[in-house]
Amino acid sequence: MQSVQYEYPPHITALPIHGSSTLLPVRRIYCVGRNYIDHIREMKEADEREPPFFFQKPTDSIVQDGARVPYPPDTRDFQFEVELVVAISSRGRDIDPIQASDHILGYAVGIELTRRDRQREMREKMLPWERGKSFDYSSPCGALRRARNIGHPSFGAITLAVNGVIKQNGDISHMIWKVPEIIANLSASYKLEPGDLIFTGTPAGVGTINIGDRLEAHMTNVGSVAVTIGPPEI
């Protein structure tokens, strides 16, 4: 079989690993919807204990710490969501929650950017959320910290500030579905592979952002990520 020749080398999205020169190539990005009760209530959702559901974002939506994020097209309600991010280290399907930690490389802090008006439209029509969620530059993510160095956090403050003012202030212990349960549920539908990322949901306090705003997200013992919202791409 003749090998494929690229006019340009294919782009590989990768994340830095704290304290190492090694990068983690990102394979897929999975996101958990509605995983904090206070966020479900602020979004006026009905069921507070539905089974977890997932959507995906394009791999190249990753934005690294310190970057400028162009204000996206197709929205008048651009919002932030701070989230704990889990990085998968090894292949698995139908993973038992008790063994889930064996498949985790480490953790990071992410900001899941959302075109909220488009998401609401899709939800009301019972259509997929991708138009509101899966767009360019929509997944800022900080450096990964290896689980062998920080353990597997089950609690810890997670915050997001806009222009220095705290807007989200939660704790990952308040997640409805914990990380082992998320991995078990996700791996029942998808074969997880090294380089997969899971954005685990956001606490209450989400809100609108504008050009010039600086977002700073932080989680205790995990790390941080900061980005600035710039003008739209031409």
* pLDDT tens digits along 148-194: 999 999 999 999 999 999 999 999 999 999 999 999 999 999 999 99
Cα 181 from Cα 225, distance rounded (Å):
26
Specify the DSSP element, H or E, that contains 130: helix 130-133
- Residue 8 has a pLDDT of 64
Give the lowest-confidence range in 46-55, 189-198, 207-216: 46-55
pLDDT of residue 217: 98
How much is the pLDDT for 48? 57
Query: Regarding predicted confidence, which is higher, 8 or 96?
Result: 96
User: Residue 207 and residue 204: Cα distance in Å, rounded?
Assistant: 9
Q: Using an 8 Å Cβ cutoff, are 172 and 110 in contact?
A: no
pLDDT of residue 7 exceeding 90, the answer is: no
pTM for the predicted model, two decimal places: 0.93
Domain range 14-230, CATH class: alpha beta
**H/E element, 62:** strand 62-64
Q: Which pLDDT value is given to residue 187? A: 97
Read off the tokens for 158.
Answer: 């997670």
Place 62 in a pLDDT band, splitting at 50, 70 and 90: very high
